[in-house]
Copies of this chain bind each other. A is one copy, B any other.
Amino acid sequence: MSSSSDITALQTPPSCTADFCLIPLGTPTASVSKEVAEVQRLLKKSGLKYSMHSAGTTVEGSWDKVMKVIGQCHTMLHQNGVVRIQSDIRIGTRTDKKQGFQDKVDAVKRLLEADGKLDGEE
């Protein structure tokens, strides 16, 4: 009767937004820009929508595709000689509406712009 009794019938979410920050361990230098650039190149090939910022990379798509490409980033860096990788992933799913990552920023900016207009009126 419970929806969770047959786990094999449970699909993963059809869409999600994930923001991940990948950290190589045990590398000769403390710089990670080379690895982050490799990740960007891989994301470009994936065909998924993504956006890099200073603390990570945001990527959109189905749960399976997004998680697969992050896993492929790990494998690629391992193949390049990095023996250990730790990623932090913030991932969100919602059923109430479809919202791309740019929509989220826009929603906040609209609220902040309203402040500006009020300020300007004085």
Contact = CB atoms under 8 A, between A and B. Distances in A.
Work out how many copies of this chain go into the complex: 4
**Interface SS of chain A:** mixed
Contact of A94 (B21, B34, B85, B90): B85
Nearest to A68: B12
B51 A51 contact: no
Contacts of A69: 7
Contacts of A24: 25
A80 B32 contact: no
A55 B53 CA distance: 10
Given A53-B53, A111-B37, A45 B4 contact: yes
7 contacts: A17-B54, A26-B96, A31-B107, A40-B108, A41-B112, A74-B93, A86-B92
